[in-house]
A and B are shown apart, each in its own frame.
Chain A
Amino acid sequence: MTAITLPDQRGHFGIFGGRYVPETLMTALDELLEVYEAAKGDPDFEEEFRYYLRDYVGRPSPLYYAERLTQTLGGARIYLKREDLNHTGAHKINNTIGQILLTRRMKKPRVIAETGAGQHGVATATVAARFGLECDVYMGSEDMERQALNVFRMRLMGSRVIAVDAGSRTLKDALNEALRDWATNVRHTHYIIGSVAGPHPFPMLVRDFQSVIGREAREQVLEKEGRLPDVLVACVGGGSNAIGLFHPFLGDGVRLVGVEGAGHGLDTGMHAATLGLGTPGVLHGAMSYTGQDANGQIQVAHSVSAGLDYPGVGPEHSYLKDSGRAEYVSVTDDEALEAFELLSRVEGIIPALESAHAIAHIARIAPEMDREEVIVAGLSGRGDKDVEQVDGLLAGNDERGEGGGGAE
């Protein structure tokens, strides 16, 4: 079986993926899979999905030639896939549109979501408002304080935001609490997971909904350059924006590079380099690389970007890493902040801190590459949500690790 046709029927990408959840949720996962398979083969669903992506989200998003960034770095030609221009400001909404349409097909009146610092929560609250569904978003209480603006946006659109006080009070714990809510209310509630993580079929269906990023990028780069790019670069937290960009290129000879958050540095213990330094384990319903100690307890991750601040990663990334098809590197908080400023200054584009990690890696590799070579980067979200935090950081007021925006 090749990478392109994975997962297998039980949701496995090699040894990764699968379903490691309480029995209470198994039937709902079967139902979701069944409804999704039926929808995939239904032209009406495809048409509906396309319609909302076009007229509501504003797709296709441009593939922008970053001319001044290219000149500044003095090497490969750099293109940015502008997911930051989507409605709500990040790629997250591609997935929430798809899943809200599935929710309607399942006739469930309520959705829930987890959110790190707000982008997926906002994207879920947005589609819940649009389709008139009840929506509760779980968010770590620490993240709620830091991301008051996103909390307000969600509430404005009619969602409840529920504070999670357990554990580290961040994304990992919000996910735990959302899973518990789902186990309790599964008969009338759909859980819109925000990344390519979780039990089968989530990693598959979120990937499929996000693959619109890569399909468009592939077409656009062929049109502009007359050929495929040499390298794709995208940040990886859970990894939905990276998988969305990578997947349509899996069969091509294009280099795929995922960029994780190295936080204060890989040797400090304060990082989010799950693929870089983690080991295979089971977290949140799937087997994948996991940040854990020798006893199998999950460790708290750290990244300046809340969207990357997660000790797990989607199982397909684990598979792509082990099979060698994709490579995964990491970028420190400081490097990401430099890239945040760099892109703002030379292109007038303020990237999300998550996306700034991809830019930081490009700043390393582009100068070493030939001028005829082409890089496509996933610009997963816009940085408006991060300006206050970055302002504080640049002023030397070290709030590092205090929530960015969940737009990985």
Chain B
Amino acid sequence: MNRIEETFASLKSAGRKALIPYVMAGDPDLETTAALVIELDRRGADLVELGVPFSDPIADGPTIQRAALRALNQGTTLRAIVDTVASIRKQSTIPIVLMTYYNPVLAYGIGDLCRDAARAGVDGLIVPDLPPEEGTELSDACRRHGLTVVFLVAPTSTAARIELVSRHTTGFVYCVSLTGVTGARGKLADGVDAFMAQVRSHTDRPLGLGFGISSPEQAGEAACLADGVIVGSAIINVMEAHAGESDMLRSVGEYAASLRRGIDKGRR
């Protein structure tokens, strides 16, 4: 059992739900990213998604697009991100998943990346533009190196597709809460209860719910439906509001703590 599966298993036995924050690696720089991950760990995160910046992020809304652009302008590379995880590992054992589009993975080399990432202490990969049909090579390499590979389901997925994704995903199933791209929304999408119930009927794996979640209240509602709550754009919004200020790290930490409280209050 790897660190991600262990985390979900121990949360489950404690009757708790996972807080899964997303930050863009290299935004504003990789030193800050490392400090953020450690701060998020300290503030109650159970798993961190580390975004890998890509020039053409088709699954992302404006917030994560801006973060990616800032990271790329800093010259952030996947190689440097893997090294950053190795340095984070000196201070934190929180499970870390890289969320990356497929082309940077291909450019790095699938086998090489999985080997280097596993050595650095990365626990898994999420590739939002890679459906299971095209993911055989990556799944095989991840398995060889003990990494999980998380596939996604969406409200538009048919029962057959939910079945397919559940069969191929490891670690957890990433449930996209809405029909659309990433970005903070005011409320959870209509029909998300039914969607989550449907996914639940196809798999025993833990379910992470993400896209659009932006407040402690929403996080609490999401925690009632899922095993993990993923928050990305809303965290980057906090970072942007405090950009260049000395209290940025603390503000993000406090925001994460508020999400933690929302989840703990909302869980069922």
Contact = CB atoms under 8 A, between A and B. Distances in A.
Interface of A: 10, 18-28, 30, 166-167, 172, 176, 179-180, 183-187, 280-285, 290, 292-298
Given A166-B65, A183-B59, A184-B180, A23 B158 contact: no
Interface stretch (B13-21, B85-93, B126-134, B255-263): B126-134
Contacts of B103: 281-283, 290, 292, 296-298
B104 interface: yes
A360 to B, nearest CB: 30
Given A19-B131, A19-B133, A180-B61, A24 B179 contact: yes
A24 B133 contact: no
Nearest to A293: B107
Most buried by A among B55, B59, B102, B129: B55
B71 to A, nearest CB: 11
A295 B107 contact: yes
B58 A180 contact: yes
A172 B58 CA distance: 11
A179 B58 contact: yes
A187 B157 contact: no
A186 B58 contact: no
Contacts of A183: 58-59, 179-181
B22 to A, nearest CB: 16
A284 B106 contact: no
A167 B56 contact: yes
Contact of B176 (A20, A23, A280, A292): A23
A282 B106 contact: yes
B128 A282 contact: no
B120 interface: no
Contacts of A298: 55-56, 103
Interface string B96-125: 000001111111100000000000000000
B134 A18 contact: yes
Sorted from nearest, which 8 A-B pairs have the closest CB atoms?
A296-B107, A184-B180, A296-B104, A24-B154, A296-B103, A22-B59, A297-B55, A23-B152
Contact of A295 (B57, B60, B78, B158): B78
Nearest to B102: A282
A186 B105 contact: no
A183 B178 CA distance: 10
B94 interface: no
Contacts of A282: 101-103, 106, 129
Contacts of A296: 54, 78, 103-108
A19 B133 CA distance: 8
B152 A22 contact: yes
Contacts of A27: 156-158, 161
Contacts of A26: 131, 154, 156-157, 161
Interface in B60-97: 60-61, 65, 69, 72, 77-79
B58 A22 contact: yes
Given A292-B107, A295-B107, A297-B104, A19 B134 contact: yes
22 contacts: A19-B133, A20-B129, A21-B131, A22-B58, A23-B154, A23-B161, A24-B156, A24-B179, A24-B180, A26-B156, A167-B56, A180-B58, A180-B59, A180-B61, A180-B180, A184-B180, A282-B106, A283-B56, A283-B103, A284-B58, A285-B129, A293-B107
Nearest to B80: A295
Interface string B157-181: 1100100010000000000100111
A28 B156 contact: yes
B147 interface: no
Given A167-B56, A180-B61, A24 B104 contact: no
B69, B72, B103, B128: which has the most chain A beta carbons within 10 Å? B103
Given A26-B161, A27-B161, A20 B55 contact: no
Which of A10, A23, A30, A284 is most buried by chain B, counting CB atoms within 10 A of its CB? A23
A172 B130 CA distance: 20
B236 interface: no
Contacts of B151: 23
Nearest to B57: A176
Contact of A186 (B60, B77, B133, B156): B156
A23 B58 contact: no
Contacts of B149: none
B232 to A, nearest CB: 14
Contacts of B152: 22-23
A30 B160 CA distance: 12
B209 interface: no
* Residue picked from B57, B102, B107, most chain A C-beta under 10 Å: B107
A18 B132 CA distance: 12
B107 A281 contact: yes
A162 to B, nearest CB: 14
Nearest to B62: A166
B156 A167 contact: no
B59 A20 contact: no
Contact of B107 (A22, A180, A285, A294): A294
B196 interface: no
B153 interface: yes
Contacts of B161: 23, 26-27
B153 A23 contact: yes
A186 to B, nearest CB: 6
Contacts of B129: 20-22, 282, 285
Contacts of B108: 295-296
A25 B58 CA distance: 11
A20 B134 contact: yes
Contacts of A18: 133-134
A184 B181 CA distance: 7
A10 B129 CA distance: 16
A184 B107 contact: no
A20 B181 contact: no
Contact of A22 (B106, B128, B133): B128
Contacts of A284: 56, 58
Among A179, A183, A284, which residue has the most Cβ atoms of chain B within 10 A? A183
